[in-house]
């Protein structure tokens, strides 16, 4: 008996020793900024809160802390306030420690952050407004910039946001990716918010094989069915096989919020989104990845994952306001879930070089509900995502709709979907392979992703086969599908590229479909 206990204790000790060595401790802050009239006072107040969170994290032996986009200033900074809410940022090559600067070159908030980093010996990732002198005409321009301070308060990375989102007062960064290495042996890439949907930098930074983790300050407007913040964060991590530390700005009345720590294999250490204004410091041990898997031929996710993710918090989530994407150019196909029959359908674009096939088994457990409708959607086209940006998409998904109209798909009201659960959902899709990347998107009524599914990609010469299937029952589901980013369509004219055709799967169509699509 004693030997058994000894062995058990020894094993525990040994395992935790491995855990310590094989992981690092990270914090992300979901921050609800003080957002009064006077932006200058806001910076002072938010800075004080940042320094408190940084200290709290350091006391818990956190090695790197990530602050959200716009967290120092709030998102709306009038142009006239930019000069006194911004700072110059030195080139990381110059290894400048603003805390030691005697020249007064940097705004006091940057100096204080640098000193705090140094004092607590912690890496800090901060998004701020950078003022820079334009090389061309020596005017001052402003960038939205992520900076990284190392344990001595030195600036080791500077990333100027490339994909601005209705941020007219700022100048986009040049097309360069930003990475940095740490003394705990992890190399990070960094970008911000809507960058995550863009080849440059989100996918390009992964061309550096040393990058295994991403630090991601964000200020994200949640939009259904495809763009809930936490769903994108999780889907990106899982499909690209990269750990993500996501820190979101919190402002739920504008649909802003969502933070978490997501692992490359699809596990979720923490995810947080709040329906009321709130700040939250999330701390986890993050397993180190030796290397990123090649995602072009891999299945991510497993039926052996714990059913409940480790740390999910969604306070007052009913109050969180989500926007709804205009799906009027999508092909939507109603499905009848009233009789508990299995649904089998294939939807293809007109050229038939993009098809999604769905098999769905559901259980209607209430005679009066369900209170939401569900539709299958396919889109092959270009959509506007901001005043001056359009992105190419090839999406397919099962989505919840508030009623049986197409316009209500992606709406979310104050009652969760009730009366139906999905026993099994399988989606398979074939994408021709110009320049694209595929992100699984799953969203429940709580605006968090599901981890109970497997996502597989199999690249062939000219196409990618994707399958996505559940490993558990799902209820209160809003979205289950694939967001296909077709980079080669970016900034082309908006609209449908290939209108779609729906096939009901009767035996004949299955056979002819298979001959037509799978066997050549």
Ligand X SMILES: *[C@@H]1O[C@H](CO)[C@@H](O)[C@H](O)[C@H]1NC(C)=O
Contacts to ligand X by CB under 6 A: 96, 100-101, 103, 105, 208, 210, 326, 328-329, 344, 357, 359, 383, 402-403, 405, 407-408, 411, 426-428, 494-496
Give the residue with the Cβ less far from ligand X, 487 or 513: 513
Minimal distance, residue 79 CB to ligand X, in Å: 28
Least distance to ligand X, CB of residue 152, Å? 13
Strand segments, DSSP code E, in 85-235 are 123-133, 140-149, 155-160, 179-181, 187-190, 211-218, 223-224
Complex with ligand X: residue 123 or 379, whichever CB lies closer: 379
Alpha helices in 147-256 (DSSP H): 229-240
Residue 200: CB minimum distance to ligand X, A:
16
Sign for the pseudo-dihedral over CA of 207, 208, 212, 214: negative
Residue nearest to ligand X (CB): 495
Please identify, using beta-carbon distances, which residue of 304 and 328 lies nearer to ligand X. Answer: 328
- Classify 156 as helix, strand or coil: strand
Residue with smaller CB distance to ligand X, 223 or 407: 407
> Minimum Å distance from CB 329 to ligand X?
4
Q: How far apart are CA 417 and CA 420, in angstroms?
A: 8
Cβ density class 233-262: b for 16+ within 10 Å, e for less? bbbbbbbbbbbbbbbbbbbbeebbbbbbbb
CB nearer to ligand X: pick between 100 and 310: 100
Element (DSSP H or E) covering residue 17: helix 2-21
Beta carbon of residue 351, minimum distance to ligand X (angstroms, whole number): 16
Alpha carbon separation from 268 to 27, 161, 311 (Å, rounded): 14, 26, 8
Beta carbon nearer to ligand X, 312 or 510: 510
Nearer to ligand X, 175 or 328 (CB): 328
Residue 172 structure tokens:
């986009």
Q: Is 39 helix (H, G, I), strand (E, B) or coil?
A: helix
Residue 437 phi/psi, 5° resolution? -145, 145
Q: How far is the CB of 480 from ligand X (least distance, A)?
A: 12
Cα–Cα distance for residue pair 286/26, rounded to 1 Å? 7
Residues whose CB is less than 8 angstroms from the CB of residue 294 and which lie 6 or more positions away in sequence, other chains included: none
* Cβ at position 45, least distance to ligand X in Å: 27
Record the tokens describing residue 406, joined without a space: 């197409």
Judged by beta carbon, residue 267 or residue 469, the one nearer ligand X is 469
**Alpha helix ranges (H) inside 22-136:** 39-59, 108-120
Residue 106 beta carbon to ligand X: minimum distance, rounded to whole angstroms: 8
Number of Cβ within a 10 Å radius of residue 299: 14
To ligand X, the closest distance from the beta carbon of 94 in angstroms equals 8
Nearer to ligand X, 28 or 295 (CB): 295
Question: Can you say whether the dihedral through the CA atoms of 425, 430, 433, 435 is positive or negative?
Answer: negative
Please identify, using beta-carbon distances, which residue of 15 and 403 lies nearer to ligand X.
Answer: 403
**Which of 282, 470, 478, 250 lies closest to 373, judged by CA?**
478
Kindly state the smallest distance separating residue 15's Cβ from ligand X, in Å.
29
Give 73 or 457: the residue with its C-beta nearer to ligand X: 457
CB of 438 to ligand X, least distance (A): 15
- Whether the Cβ atoms of residue 344 and residue 354 lie closer than 8 Å to each other: no
Strand-strand pairing, 243-248 and 280-287: unpaired
The DSSP symbol for 70 reads T
Smallest gap from Cβ 136 to ligand X, in A, equals 23
Q: What is the dihedral of CA 465, 469, 475, 480, to 10 degrees?
A: -10
Nearest to 225 by CA among 322, 342, 302: 322
* Integer Cα distance of 446 and 443 in angstroms: 8
Q: Report phi then psi at 110, rounded to 5.
A: -70, -40
What CA–CA distance (Å, rounded) separates 73 from 131? 14
CB closer to ligand X out of 24 and 170 = 24
């Amino acid at each position: 008996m004693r030997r058994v206990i000894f062995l058990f204790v020894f094993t525990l000790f040994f395992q935790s020793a491995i855990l310590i060595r094989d992981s690092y401790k990270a914090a992300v802050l979901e921050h609800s900024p003080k957002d009064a009239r006077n932006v200058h006072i806001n910076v002072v107040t938010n800075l004080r809160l940042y320094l408190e969170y940084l200290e709290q994290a350091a006391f818990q032996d956190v090695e790197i802390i990530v602050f959200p986009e716009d967290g120092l200033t709030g998102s709306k900074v009038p142009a006239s306030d930019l000069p006194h809410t911004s700072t110059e940022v030195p080139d990381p090559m110059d290894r400048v420690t603003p805390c030691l600067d005697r020249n007064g070159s940097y705004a006091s908030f940057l100096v204080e952050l640098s000193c705090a980093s140094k004092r607590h010996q912690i890496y800090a990732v901060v998004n701020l407004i950078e003022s820079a002198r334009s090389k061309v005409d020596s005017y001052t321009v402003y960038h939205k910039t992520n900076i990284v301070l190392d344990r001595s308060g030195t600036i080791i990375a500077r990333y100027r946001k490339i994909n601005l989102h209705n941020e007219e007062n700022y100048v986009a960064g040049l097309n360069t990716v930003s990475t940095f290495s740490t003394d705990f042996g992890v190399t990070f890439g960094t970008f911000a918010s809507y960058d995550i949907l863009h080849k440059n930098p989100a996918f390009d930074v992964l061309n550096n094989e040393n990058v295994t983790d991403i630090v991601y300050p964000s200020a994200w407007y949640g939009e259904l069915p495809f763009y809930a913040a936490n769903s994108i964060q999780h889907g990106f991590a899982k499909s690209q096989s990269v750990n993500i530390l996501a820190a979101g700005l919190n402002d739920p009345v504008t649909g802003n919020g969502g933070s978490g720590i997501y692992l490359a294999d699809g596990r979720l250490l923490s995810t947080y989104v709040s329906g009321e204004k709130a700040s939250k410091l999330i701390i986890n041990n993050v397993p180190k990845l030796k290397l990123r898997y090649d995602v072009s031929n891999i299945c991510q996710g497993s039926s052996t994952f714990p059913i409940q993710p480790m740390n999910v918090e969604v306070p007052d989530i009913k109050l969180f306001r989500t926007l709804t994407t205009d799906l009027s150019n999508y092909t939507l196909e109603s499905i009848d879930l009233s009789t508990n029959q299995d649904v089998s359908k294939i939807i293809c674009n007109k050229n038939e070089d993009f098809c999604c096939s769905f098999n769905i088994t559901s259980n209607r457990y209430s005679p009066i509900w369900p209170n939401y409708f569900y539709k299958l959607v396919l889109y092959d086209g270009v959509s506007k995502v901001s005043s001056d940006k359009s992105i190419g998409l090839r999406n397919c998904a099962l989505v919840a709709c508030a009623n049986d109209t197409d316009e209500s798909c992606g709406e979310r009201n104050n009652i969760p979907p009730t009366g139906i659960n999905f026993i099994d959902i399988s989606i398979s899709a074939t994408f021709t392979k110009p320049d694209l990347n595929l992100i699984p998107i799953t969203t429940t009524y709580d605006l968090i992703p599901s981890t109970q599914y497997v996502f597989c990609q199999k690249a062939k010469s000219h196409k990618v086969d994707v399958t996505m299937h559940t490993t558990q029952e799902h209820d209160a589901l809003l979205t289950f599908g694939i967001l296909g980013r077709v980079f080669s369509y970016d900034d082309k004219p908006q609209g449908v590229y290939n209108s779609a055709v729906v096939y009901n799967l009767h035996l004949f169509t299955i056979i002819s479909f298979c001959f037509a699509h799978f066997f050549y």
